[in-house]
Amino acid sequence: MSEHAMQLEAQYGAKNYSPLPVVLTNGEGVWVEDVHGHRYMDMLSSYSALNQGHRHPKVI
């Protein structure tokens, strides 16, 4: 599953950042989680839509 998702990212994803070697499945606040259950603090902020954090209740 991870390899297929990474291939799709390489083919269709935005090219403004180098892809990370993880497949993220969930995000809440500053935290994201990958397909293996590892948690990471999202310090990239990626796009301006994430300035409020992942799944901010006032935005959702």
Q: What burial class does residue 32 get, using C-beta atoms within 10 Å of its C-beta: 0-12 exposed, 13-18 middle, 19+ buried?
A: buried
Q: Which has more confidence, 16 or 9?
A: 9
Q: What would the pLDDT profile of 10-26 be if each residue is shown by its tens digit?
A: 898 877 777 778 888 99
The strands making up 24-28's β-sheet, listed across from edge to edge, are: 24-28, 31-34, 39-41
- As a whole number of angstroms, the distance between CA 42 and CA 29 comes to 9
Q: What would the pLDDT profile of 25-50 be if each residue is shown by its tens digit?
A: 998 888 999 999 999 988 776 665 56
Check residue 21 and give its pLDDT: 84
